Amino acid sequence: MENMNSKYTIIIAIVAIAIIISSVAAYVFLSKPPTTSSASINLQGAGATFPYPFLNAIITKYSTDVKPNVLVNYQSIGSGGGIAALKQPTPTVDFAASDAPLSATDTANIPNALHIPETIGAVTIAYNLPGVTSGLHLTGKVIADIFQGTITEWNDPAIQNLNPDTMLPAQTINTVHRSDGSGTTFIFTGYLSASSTSWNTAVGQGKSVSWPVGTGSSGNTGVASSVNGIQYSIGYVELAYILENGMTVAAVQNLAGNWIQPSLESTQLAVQSGASSGLPAGDASWTNVSLLNAPDANAYPIVSFTYLLSYKELNEIPGMTQDKATALVQFLWYVVHDGQDLAPGLSYAKLPSNVVQIDEATIRSITFNGQQLPTT
């Protein structure tokens, strides 16, 4: 009897699953708009998770309002995965996104790679100090010493001297860092390397590094939750996350000596003044490009580009056609122009005009079989 019952249960379960699957399939197939059936062009992209919400908003708007026949599919599998997907001999994507510029070894595998700065990342120093609810003053050197474990107490003279009017507790500092490899860590450790020679020699810059002390948490959310949950802790979090969720962050001293709170404005100022001293051409090496410690008096110091990457000559990508190449160029053009208007609403900083001009030159230089492509 029991056997019979369980048999019926299994049969009912299978039938139920089959019904669910077929109804989902029917919904997917029937609800597909007819415009995308025949002449649609598919662009594949992959890469960094940081710009994903921004890119996704642009892609959705582009496919609904601008070019309904162009479908852009962006997979946020991480910068490393995106770069790997763009590599010769078999690139599987049409463009990649990365928080860090290509390294020398990557450049060898992506001949004539183009860097197109698409939005800006800023890293904030978030802390949890009962009683100190805003604007703790920190310098790059002190931050490096904290994360290196040479400053261990909140009332260390090095911190107290920067904050003469604040009562700092005699408590051990707990540092929180990203446990997953990330562009945020790349920017942050780059800043620490630039600020402290001892950090530069002992640890250095990378998407993940050998942290001398502290707890690791996954993602901006993980770090934020650890900082919020553990008193007397300090961590670094992407600006967009802070603006959306609200956390206590430090004012960091910039090159001009001012204490700057991270914001979209101070980030944009940093890019504008950092880029004014000159950026490489789109197809040159960007390995050493840095927006850290920009000269403007009100620039936030821990800022970096995130990039879209593609080929200068699109016939390097298998399966590329004239139509597809045109669609890709026009999409890239849209990202650095109209797409930028979506940035502030999503807590990303807009590209300043001098960077947009450099991007324009880069996108115009893209060819397919040696022929230039129309940008609009």
Q: Under the rule (CB under 8 A), what is the footprint of another protein?
A: 77-81, 83, 103, 105-106, 172, 174, 179-182, 203-218, 222, 225-226, 229-230, 233
Q: Which tokens is 325 given?
A: 């190449």
Residue placing its CB nearer to another protein in the complex, 196 or 272: 196
DSSP β-bridge partners for residue 74: 45
Q: CB-wise, 160 or 287, nearer to another protein?
A: 287
Looking at the Cβ atoms of 217 and 268, the one nearer to another protein is 217
Q: Taking the complex as a whole, how short is the minimal distance between the CB of residue 210 and another protein, in angstroms?
A: 4
Q: Is 287 left (phi over 0), alpha (psi -120 to 50) or beta?
A: alpha
Cβ nearer to another protein, comparing 57 with 230: 230
> Tokens at residue 48, please?
């960094």
* Rounded Cα gap, residues 360 and 208, in angstroms: 32
CB 171 within 8 A of CB 181: no
With respect to another protein, which residue has the nearer C-beta, 292 or 327?
292
Tokens of 214: 């502290």
Name the residue nearer to another protein (CB basis): 207 or 324: 207
Query: Nearest Cα to 304, choosing from 34, 51, 47?
Result: 51
Q: Smallest distance from the beta carbon of 189 to another protein, in angstroms?
A: 8
CB of 255 to another protein, least distance (A): 25
Distance of closest approach, residue 183 Cβ to another protein, in angstroms: 8
Report the nearest approach of another protein to the CB of residue 355 (Å).
Answer: 25
Cis geometry, peptide bond prior to residue 280 (ω within 30 degrees of 0): no
State the minimum distance, in angstroms, from the CB of residue 105 to another protein: 8
Nearest approach in angstroms of CB 55 to another protein is 17
Rounded Cα–Cα distance for residues 315 and 369 (Å): 6
Q: Which of 176, 186, 179, 177 shows the shortest CA–CA distance to 50?
A: 186
The three-class DSSP label of residue 210 is: coil
- Alpha-carbon distance 254 to 373, whole Å? 42
| C-alpha–C-alpha distance, residues 59 and 211, integer Å | 37
Say how many residues make up the chain.
Answer: 376
Task: Identify which of residues 232 and 259 has a Cβ nearer to another protein in the complex.
Answer: 232
